[in-house]
Amino acid sequence: MDEQELVRRSKAGDVQSFNYLVEAYQSHVFNLALRLLGDAEGAADVAQETFVSAFQAIGKFRDGSFKAWVLRIAANSAYDQLRISKRRPSTSLDALTSNPENPVDFADGQETPEDHVLRQELAQAIQLGLSSLPFDQRVVVVLSDVQGYSYEEIAEVTKASLGTVKSRLSRGRSRLRDFLMERRELLPRPYRH
């Protein structure tokens, strides 16, 4: 069954059809929320709320990409979550790094304990850097550089023009670069120049 048919059935109230869409996009939604919030638990809440909201509002969905639409809902939910709970990524990251099985870590097979610590610190520095960006720049940087979306897809998610996407991405990357260059000692050796 193609996506349009699933959307059509979902509009008729078929939860099972909608759940196929959930399974297809839940990883995208969760990862976007995770990088926007820096908090795995909050990201899971946002993902759940996103799909409930999407199902309840699917009658308003017209043409275009369902993925872009649901990612936009997720970004809005994450924004609301940040505003309401005033979550600070620093506290969340402390919790993340204290948990050895936390999925936010950069997993990479065999490594020395020293590399493991450095890797965690790098992950923390990147997440802190992302969290230091204004929300509109953060969304664009995460969608582009973490999730690998094209400028056109990002424009569809954010409902912004291509020029705005380029500009937000440029400013976000510059800020993040300055943030990371101030913590150069955390970068992997090939990147410490």
Partner 1 sequence: MFRKSRCNQTEDLLSAYVDGRLSIGEQQQVEEHTRVCEACTGELESLRTTVALLRLTPTVQPPRSFVLSERTVSRPVRQSAPVLRWSMGLAVALLLILVSGDVLSSVSLGGVSAPSTRMAQKSAEDRSMAPASELAGEAQSNLRAPSAATDEKNRQYQDPSVAAQRAPLSSTGSEENTGRSEGFPPAGRTDASAQPTADALEGKVRPLPNWDLSALRIAEFGLGALTLALVLMNVLRRRARY
**Residue ranges in contact with partner 1 by CB under 8 A:** 15, 18-19, 22-23, 26-27, 29-31, 34-35, 40, 44, 47-53, 55-56, 75-76, 79-80, 83-84, 103-104, 106-107, 122-123, 126, 135-136, 139, 141, 144-148, 151, 166, 169-170, 173-174, 176-177, 180-181, 187, 191, 193
The size of the chain, in residues, is 193
Q: Which C-beta is closer to partner 1: that of 90 or that of 106?
A: 106
Nearer to partner 1, 41 or 65 (CB): 41
Residues 149 and 157: their CA atoms lie apart, in Å, by 10
Judged by CB, which is closer to partner 1: 8, or 179? Answer: 179
Q: What single-letter amino acid sits at 56? A: Q
* Minimum distance of partner 1 from residue 172's CB (angstroms): 9
Question: 99: which 2 tokens?
Answer: 């948990």
CB 145 within 8 A of CB 173: yes
Residue owning tokens 């890797």: 119
Q: Computed over its alpha carbons, how large is the radius of gyration of the chain?
A: 18
Query: CB 19 → partner 1: shortest distance, Å?
Result: 4
CA distance 76 to 89: 18
> Residue 186: what residue type?
L
Q: In this complex, which beta carbon is closest to partner 1, that of residue 64 or of residue 148?
A: 148
